Structure 1
Amino acid sequence: MSIFDFFKRRAEPIATPAEKERMRINSMVLAKAMETTNPSLKRVDLVPYEPPAGVVPAAKLKSVMAMDSTPYDYLNLTGFSGGFPGYPYLADLSQRAEYRKMVSRLAEEMTRKWIEIKTVGDDDKSEKVAQLNDALKRYKVRELFRQAAEDDGYFGRGQIYIEVTAPRGTIASDDPAELASPLFLAKEKIAKGSLVALRKVEAVWTYPGVYQSTNPLKADYYKPQEWFVMGQSVHHSRMLMFVSREVPDMLKAAYNFGGLSLSQIAEPYVNNWLRTRNSVGDLVHSFSLSILKTNMQSTLSGAADPSLFLRADLFNQVRDNRGLMMVDKDSEEIDQINTPLSGVNELQAQAQEQMASVSSIPLVVLLGITPSGLNASSDGEIRVFYDYVKGQQESIYQDNLKKVLDIIQLSEFGEIDPDITFEFVPLYEMSKKELSEIRKADADTDAVYIDHGVLGPEDVRERLASDPDSPYHALELSDDFDADEEPEKDAPDDPAGSS
């Protein structure tokens, strides 16, 4: 090829009519249209939990973290669905009304009726019972247990620290040697008057110290024997643990030896509810779709035409049910499409019900929504919910309450009375009509027993007087009471003596 051929102008290819009519979208216009794309969901890998600075002493951090033998890489490679979101993220979720309503409502129900201290045997221990009730109020045990249940719902773990005076007279939180020693339930360790306070500690400020993760046959397998609380080593017997939804052993280290929080479990359902609620709101706000038919020749031919979006902005600004829309009669037209709204309320209600179902709280309790329909009632759902609450009380409260009562007895009496126990007060309350029907049935049964000589009237009288739910409670009993004996009448005045 000669140098003259290089400078020759090459002939442009001739475009066919079909190619000339082909659409060409400018990249600027495409970028403008893609500004409102939805963000994709991000998968959370399972990673080792790292406590905030200061929780674990810097000199011990490396050795403490080395005890974590969880195969994180293996779990993530096998398609593990997600890991611990972290306490800052869970704390952020606790600010939303949906999560707070679930967690706080369940915690309130678990402590609403609280407990009743009872005694076994015939000895009168009413003074001890009254003193224990006063101590429970003084140490705010009920309030602290409610807060621990809330921490369990928000973060997956609640903890209460037991503050006592050491045998040598020092406060345990000021004595590192005392903090690291076991808290035995004995009068030699917990002397009379030594209980100082009970304090709630959030999970973010604690991290397990020594725990055994090599032999599943041992009793201390994945059970921390000490806790680091802002640099201080605390024996596990001084910390009450509240975990209602434990995770498998291989995940305990990643979850800071806590469990699944109610917020983490409910998050997909709450997100679905929020998305549905916002979508319904957007649908109602813009159920009427307007179509503006205008000249888009330059835009579809590949040119950057900013006037198109300016025209759209002008259209949206004056668009209103009471507004006046003006269009070019030669090059523009307007069509309107209305979206049907039937069935939208059912979709929104279903999303709300799913959010309530994951928390095991009925809608009437969680949101105050009563069932609709003829003879509709929530009594069955409420009773099932109360059974669930009772199971939660016995699961995460029973052992901790027993330990607190034993410590209070040592501090108040100097000993633990084995005849003193407690029961959770039932949450369900019968109506006056139901109570009257029960009393009527009991009275009919007592009458049959008395007629057949199985019981005597004094037995029934004594039962009524000793029943705290009876209207005749504390009725004064008489040893010489006889139902068959006629009451003695006053003798009539002697007419002769009166003369």
Structure 2
Amino acid sequence: MTRAGIDIVSDGAPDDLGKVNEAFVDLGIWERLSETIKWSRLYGGALAVLLIDGQDVGTPLRFDTIKRGQFKGLLVLDRWMVTPELAEEVKELGPDLGRPAFYTVTANAPAYRGKKIHYSRVIRLDGVELPYWQRISENGWGISVLERLYDRMVAFDSTSTGVAQLVYKAHLRTVSVDGLREILAAGGAPEAALIKQFEMIRLMQSNEGLTLIDAKDTFEAHNYTFSGLSDVLLQFAQQLSGALQIPLVRLFGQSPAGLNATGESDIRNYYDGIAAQQKSKLRGGVSKILDLAWRSSIGGNPPSSYSFVFNSLWLMSDTEKATIAVGVTGAVAQAYEAGIVDRETAMRELRQSADVTGVWTNITDEEIQAADDDPPEPSEGGDVRELPDLAAIVADLGADGGSGRGEISLDPGSEG
């Protein structure tokens, strides 16, 4: 969910967008968000506290009060580090309606020990969401993703251990001793003689597989074949994969089976599921962080067009990138030649496509600004010649001592 990052969409200055991206890197935003997601999945819930320098965490967050340099990143607290104040619920209409209005930090937390944090200053992520009454039994949180697949994990582990033990005992050797029961019942010298016999067998066994035994004894070797064990293991692995919603090719690093199987469709479906989780669980929190990053890095309100999209997790091949680059370049060039866009807009579109194609990355801001100063394109009717300064010509004619009257040709084909 956090691996590929985001692509900021805005008509703001490229330098400003660069500063926002630098803030995400310098403050370790993606690392902290990834940590929050991991603890929420493991424990059933976690918080990412917005660190605003100079502000009380117990008060509601107001974005218009954020000054430059105030946003300091995120503090990750799992569900066991905070206690939701269930008696104080959010009453404002919105996505947080009914949730705890405050979270009290416990003594084992790394910071803010004993303080109450307002819900507007946290990004809350739950594990597996529960119905209301079950959620109440979990102190308002969800449950760990491991709880709904624990029995599948035990089954897979038990099967793997059992198969390993079977393989270890697949080659068994037995010796039939004449009168063994009487020898053990008698004990003493007969039993000691039996033990000495087997010590001699171990001593005399050779690399050629020879075994020294009495002529009346019988030696047998038992070999077993285990057909179907791989199918049993695969079935349990598939159940575990389905419970985790992670394909086998990624969960176990297993090569896809079957003719012409590449696992591409499994990975694509998996990435589609991740994209759905990004939109449902992560988009609101990232939007809040993006707003804070602009106010802290640039100052003032962000532009009205300030938004973002999650970058695709699917990495394209060089051939796919080249194909898209050719298509985008052709479409932009066609729009420019048709007069739909000017050269500045065309250059901006080409550079923006570089995030996907890797082409046109060297178009600089100076070149784009220079394109904005280009003279208008000539019309299709022929060359446009610059007209002389008529007022100056008339003034010169009047100063010539004459009547101040003269003839001026405005014919484009005339040299006059």
Task: Tell me, yes or no, whether TM beats 0.5.
Answer: yes
Alpha-carbon distance, 1:387 to partner: 0.5
Q: Does 1:161 align with 2:37?
A: no
Provide the residue aligned with 2:395 in structure 1: none
Q: Is the 8 A contact 1:156 1:260 kept in 2?
A: yes
Deviations 1:179-228 (CA, angstroms, capped at 9, x unpaired): 3x33322333x344322331111222112123469x9x999775212112
* Map 1:273-292 → 2, pairs under 5 A: 273-292=156-175
Q: 1: distance between equivalents of 2:94 and 2:7?
A: 37
2:320 aligns with 434
| Aligned residue among 418, 424, 438 for 2:310 | 424
Q: Distance in 2 between matches of 1:156 and 1:242?
A: 8
Counterparts in 2 of 1:329 and 1:236: CA distance versus 1, 3 Å: farther
Matched residue of 2:63: which SS?
coil
Pair 1:392-2:269 in alignment: no
The one-letter amino acid paired with 2:134 is: L
- 2:328–2:353: 8 Å Cα contact kept in structure 1? no
CA distance in 2, matches of 1:440, 1:275: 54
Q: Is the 8 A contact 1:116 1:423 kept in 2?
A: yes
User: Paired residue for 2:401?
Assistant: none
1:415 aligns with 2:292: no
Any unmatched runs of 5+ in structure 1?
1-109, 168-177, 302-306, 487-499
Q: CA deviation at 1:291?
A: 4.4
8 Å contact 1:458–1:481 — kept in the other structure? Answer: no
CA contact (8 A) 1:211 1:220 kept: no
- What's the secondary structure of 1:200's corresponding residue? strand
Distance (Å, rounded) in 1 between the aligned partners of 2:220 and 2:251: 45
Indicate yes or no: 2:364 matched with 1:469. Answer: no
Report if the CA contact (8 A) 2:41-2:126 is conserved: no
- In structure 1, the partner of 2:14 is 126
Shift of 1:388: 0.8
Q: Residues 481 and 324 of structure 1: is their aligned pair in 2 closer, same or farther, counting only changes over 3 Å?
A: farther
Q: Distance in 2 between matches of 1:414 and 1:461?
A: 30
* 1:111 to partner: Cα distance: 1.4
Q: Distance in 2 between matches of 1:321 and 1:155?
A: 57
How many Å apart are 1:458 and its aligned residue? Answer: 5.3
**What secondary structure does 1:423 align onto?**
strand
Q: Is the 8 A contact 2:41 2:145 kept in 1?
A: yes
CA shift in 2, pair 1:218/1:137, >3 Å: closer
- Which residue type is aligned with residue 187 of structure 1? D
User: What is the CA-CA distance between 1:298 and the residue it aligns to?
Assistant: 7.5
Q: CA deviation at 1:400?
A: 0.8
Would the alpha carbon gap of residues 244 and 396 (structure 1) be closer, same or farther in structure 2, given more than 3 Å must change?
farther
Structure 2 residue 111 is matched with structure 1 residue 111: no
Question: What is the CA deviation profile of residues 258-310 of structure 1, one whole-angstrom value per residue up to 9, with x for unaligned ones?
Answer: 32322333322222222222222222211133445455758999xxxxx79x9
Is 1:402–2:287 an aligned residue pair?
yes
Residue equivalent to 1:263: 146
Change (3 A) 1:212 1:185: closer
Aligned sequence identity (%): 21
Give the match for residue 224 of structure 1: 100
- Check the 8 A contact 2:40/2:78 in 1, yes or no: no
Partner of 2:130: 247
Q: Is the contact made by 1:222 and 1:249 (CA closer than 8 Å) also made in structure 2?
A: no
* 2:29 aligns with one of 130, 136, 141: 141
How far did 1:402 drift?
1.2
The structure-2 alpha-carbon separation of the partners of 1:140 and 1:472, relative to structure 1 and needing over 3 Å to count, comes to: closer
Task: Say if 2:119 is the partner of 1:236.
Answer: yes
Q: 1:212 to 1:249 in 2, by over 3 A?
A: farther
The CA deviation at 1:379 is: 1.4
**Which residue identity lines up with residue 121 of structure 2 in the other structure?**
R
Measure, in 2, the Cα distance between the counterparts of 1:421 and 1:443.
25
| Alpha-carbon distance, 1:249 to partner | 1.6
| Cα distance in structure 2, aligned partners of 1:403 and 1:441 | 35
Contact 1:458/1:482, CA 8 A, preserved across alignment:
no
| The one of 192, 202, 209 aligned to 2:85 | 209
Q: Give the Cα–Cα distance (whole angstroms) in 2 for the partners of residues 479 and 357 of structure 1.
A: 62
From 347, 350, 355, give the equivalent of 2:240: 355
* Counterparts in 2 of 1:132 and 1:439: CA distance versus 1, 3 Å: closer
Aligned residues: 347
CA distance in 2, matches of 1:222, 1:321: 77
* CA distance in 2 between partners of 1:483 and 1:150 (Å): 62
- Give the CA deviation at 1:244: 4.3
Provide structure 2 residue ranges, at least 5 long, that are not aligned to the other structure.
108-113, 186-190, 383-416
Q: Distance in 1 between matches of 2:253 and 2:341?
A: 43
The code of the aligned residue for 1:250 comes to W
